[in-house]
Amino acid sequence: MLFDTHAHYDDERFDKDRYEIIEKVHQEGVSYIINASSDVKSVRVSVELAQKYPYVYAAIGIHPHNAEEVCSNIIPSLYEWAACDKVVAIGEIGLDYYYDFTPREVQIRCFAEQISVAKELSLPIIVHNRDSHEDVLRIIKGENAKEVGGVFHCFSGSVEMAREVLNNNFYISVGGPVTFKNARRVLEVLKYVPDDRLLVETDCPYLTPEPYR
């Protein structure tokens, strides 16, 4: 069985053939898909796709790039969307210090608020972490995200960080970057992480593996 634990079929690049592709990948052996959200629009589409296809599930949340969307009128909406029984996680949420599209203090507040929602709903979280290892781990521990656990998607940290992640009730997933020429660190992590704590993902349409980039 193949389980794509992280995809973005809500992305505009799928507007012309979204349904055809989702149906094709299932026919070709992908048993289940989790569609991860990034903003309000993608949350809506993710839930719609989950309701349309029995093998598609939704994760709802606001990506750090869009963290300024998180305010008093959106957090309550997460509870409403989570009422759908096909919603299985809060995500993707986290920090991105590589692009810094949103002020870091806003990203941090948004991340912490959505962890609180996940704990109230007893849902795991899908963590986005780019060049923000120290703060992500600090918030995970400070907010006691271990209570619900989840997954660090497209893991880019060290073996030492992987140990901390696993100890805090999280899984680790890797995608296309494992095929990149500079993938030395992630290969070391793969050797360390137990098979039963390792997930696979496409993150489509992003992070296409070599040689298809």
72-112 pLDDT, tens digit each = 678 889 999 999 999 999 999 999 999 999 999 999 999 99
Q: Is the pLDDT of residue 71 over 90?
A: no
In tens, the pLDDT along 108-132 reads 999 999 999 999 999 999 999 999 9
Q: What is the 3 state secondary structure string of the chain?
A: CEEEEEECCCCHHHCCCHHHHHHHHHHCCEEEEEEECCCHHHHHHHHHHHHHCCCEEEEECCCHHHHHHCCCCCHHHHHHHCCCCCEEEEEEEEEECCCCCCCHHHHHHHHHHHHHHHHHHCCCEEEEEECCHHHHHHHHHHCCHHHCCEEECCCCCCHHHHHHHHHCCEEEEECHHHHCCCCHHHHHHHHHCCHHHEEECCCCCCCCCCCCC
pLDDT band at 147 (very low <50, low <70, confident <90, very high): very high
Q: What percent of the chain has pLDDT over 70?
A: 99
Q: What is the mean pLDDT of the chain?
A: 95
Q: What pLDDT is attached to residue 72? A: 61
Q: Is the pLDDT of residue 213 over 90?
A: no
Q: Is the pLDDT of residue 3 over 70?
A: yes
Q: What pLDDT is attached to residue 178? A: 92
2 token code pair: 């193949």
Q: What pLDDT is attached to residue 74? A: 81
Q: Is the pLDDT of residue 69 over 80?
A: no
Which pTM was predicted?
A: 0.95
Q: Is the pLDDT of residue 182 over 90?
A: no
Average pLDDT over residues 140-162: 97
